């Protein structure tokens, strides 16, 4: 038993890989380049005027409601991912502390925030780091199809006028989903690509039944619809009238860009997307108004996450520290992670 415990502890000592300097600095460099491209010929006085005429009461109200919806959808979707693919024993209180406590570093240094859930599940439940990361990848994969569904509906309503590039993209995404289901939900996975099948990052794809895809899609669809409402309301706050078809293309792109490594703290990607689509592609408004809109989006969203993260900053730190000490002081009685059952 002592040898088994020591072996478990040795495995436990393999921490999540700390992000390198390049990974940390890349979003800041990308954001800097995007801001340089946007602001090099911009009328700053016009930008101030656009922000000055915004109906801030309307913006504050809708973004407050949006952030609350985001917090709950984030908790439920990633929480079920952890419960279904790591361990059912983890409590919702701990999940809330982990998810909400990572918002503050996520706004400041997103790569640092990424190691918080793997660290918790490794120390507390002996879940493999790559299994935890894989569960999050799976949730984000399902989330991406909420945005693809919105894009697809927008394209169907708009027809061919939006350009073939959009159509190629969404078609490719639906083909990818079909291939994903064909591989993971049929005996094909036992015959082809064993390295993919046995990759720890694919652990959640391997375990998930078809109903889980629809469960996550349903949960994350609440957020996708909220994105549209919040985006439309912020545009209304700036007196910008956008066709619903263009709204359904703009909002998903801005939301996804917020979490890509082209954004630092939620700034960069949304501003670039707003100027590229609203001004250069569709010519709905001027650059100053487009940037004002995207700055309102990024600022309210970043502030909401930072506030929530600040509230849970000490609880998440205390949870990680306390659980580490608790695990070191007693021997594990049984395996709790699906990752440790030979799956």
pLDDT digits (tens, 9 = 90+) for 211-222: 999 999 999 999
Torsional class of 46: left (φ above 0), alpha (ψ -120 to 50), beta (otherwise)? alpha
Is the pLDDT assigned to residue 332 strictly greater than 60? Answer: no
Q: Is residue 19 part of a domain?
A: no
- Domain hosting 84: range is 34-340
Output 250 or 20, whichever has higher pLDDT: 250
Is the pLDDT assigned to residue 337 strictly greater than 70? Answer: no
Mean pLDDT (whole number) for 209-236: 95
Q: Is residue 313 part of a domain?
A: yes
Among 23-27, 46-50, 236-240, the minimum mean pLDDT is found in 23-27
Is the pLDDT assigned to residue 146 strictly greater than 80? Answer: yes
The pLDDT, as a whole number, for residue 138 is: 97
Torsional class of 334: left (φ above 0), alpha (ψ -120 to 50), beta (otherwise)? beta
- 27's tokens: 């979003």
Q: Is residue 27 part of a domain?
A: no
**DSSP secondary structure letter of residue 54:** S
Output 187 or 342, whichever has higher pLDDT: 187
Q: Is residue 11 part of a domain?
A: no
Residues 6+ apart with CB under 8 A from 234: 59, 62, 63, 293, 296, 297
Report the percent of the chain where pLDDT is more than 70.
89
Say if residues 331 and 5 touch (Cβ distance below 8 Å): yes
The pLDDT, as a whole number, for residue 125 is: 92
Torsional class of 223: left (φ above 0), alpha (ψ -120 to 50), beta (otherwise)? alpha
Q: Is residue 201 part of a domain?
A: yes
Is the pLDDT assigned to residue 6 strictly greater than 70? Answer: no
**Domain count across the chain:** 1
- Coil, helix or strand at residue 316: helix
Mean pLDDT (whole number) for 232-252: 93
d(CA 220, CA 136): 13
Identify the burial level of 21 via C-beta atoms within 10 angstroms of its C-beta, where 0-12 means exposed, 13-18 middle and 19 or more buried.
exposed
276 pLDDT tier (thresholds 50, 70, 90): very high
Sign (positive or negative) of CA dihedral 294, 297, 301, 303: positive
Is the pLDDT assigned to residue 339 strictly greater than 90? Answer: no
The pLDDT, as a whole number, for residue 324 is: 60
Is the pLDDT assigned to residue 80 strictly greater than 60? Answer: yes
14 pLDDT tier (thresholds 50, 70, 90): low
Query: pTM for the whole thing?
Result: 0.88
d(CA 286, CA 159): 25
Q: Is residue 24 part of a domain?
A: no
Report the percent of the chain where pLDDT is more than 90.
73
Q: Is residue 15 part of a domain?
A: no
Mean pLDDT (whole number) for 101-125: 91
Is the pLDDT assigned to residue 116 strictly greater than 80? Answer: yes
d(CA 175, CA 167): 12
160 pLDDT tier (thresholds 50, 70, 90): low
Among 66-75, 94-103, 131-140, 255-264, the minimum mean pLDDT is found in 255-264
The pLDDT, as a whole number, for residue 295 is: 95
**DSSP secondary structure letter of residue 281:** I
Is the pLDDT assigned to residue 8 strictly greater than 50? Answer: no
Q: Is residue 53 part of a domain?
A: yes
Is the pLDDT assigned to residue 5 strictly greater than 70? Answer: no
């Amino acid at each position: 038993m002592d040898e088994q415990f020591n072996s478990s502890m040795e495995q436990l000592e393999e921490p999540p890989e700390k992000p390198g300097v390049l990974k940390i600095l890349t979003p800041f460099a990308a954001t800097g380049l995007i801001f340089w491209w946007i602001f090099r010929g911009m009328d700053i006085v016009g930008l101030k005027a656009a922000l000055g005429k915004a109906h801030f009461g309307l913006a504050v109200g809708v973004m407050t409601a949006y952030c609350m919806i985001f917090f709950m959808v984030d908790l439920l979707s990633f929480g079920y991912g952890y419960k279904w693919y790591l361990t059912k024993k983890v409590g919702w209180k701990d999940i809330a502390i982990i998810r909400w406590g990572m918002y503050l570093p996520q706004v400041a240094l997103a790569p640092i925030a990424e190691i918080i859930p793997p660290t918790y599940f490794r120390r507390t439940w002996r879940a493999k780091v790559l299994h935890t990361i894989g569960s999050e990848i799976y949730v984000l994969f399902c989330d991406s199809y909420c945005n693809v569904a919105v894009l697809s509906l927008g394209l169907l309503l708009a027809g061919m006028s939006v350009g073939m590039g959009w159509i190629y993209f969404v078609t490719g995404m639906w083909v990818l989903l079909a291939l994903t289901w064909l591989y993971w939900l049929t005996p094909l996975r036992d015959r082809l690509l064993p390295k993919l099948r046995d990759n720890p990052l694919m652990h959640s794809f391997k375990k998930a039944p078809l109903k889980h895809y629809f469960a996550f899609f349903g949960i994350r669809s609440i957020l996708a619809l909220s994105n549209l409402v919040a985006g439309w309301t912020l545009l209304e706050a700036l007196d910008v009238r956008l066709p619903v078809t263009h709204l359904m293309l703009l909002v998903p792109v801005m939301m996804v860009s917020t979490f890509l490594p082209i954004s630092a703290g939620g700034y960069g990607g949304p501003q670039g997307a707003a100027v590229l689509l609203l001004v250069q592609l569709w010519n709905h408004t001027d650059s100053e108004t487009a940037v004002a809109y995207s700055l309102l989006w990024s600022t309210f969203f970043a502030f909401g996450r930072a506030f929530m993260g600040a509230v849970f900053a000490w609880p998440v730190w205390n949870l990680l520290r306390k659980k580490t000490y608790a695990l070191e002081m007693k021997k594990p009685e049984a395996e709790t992670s699906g990752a440790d059952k030979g799956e």
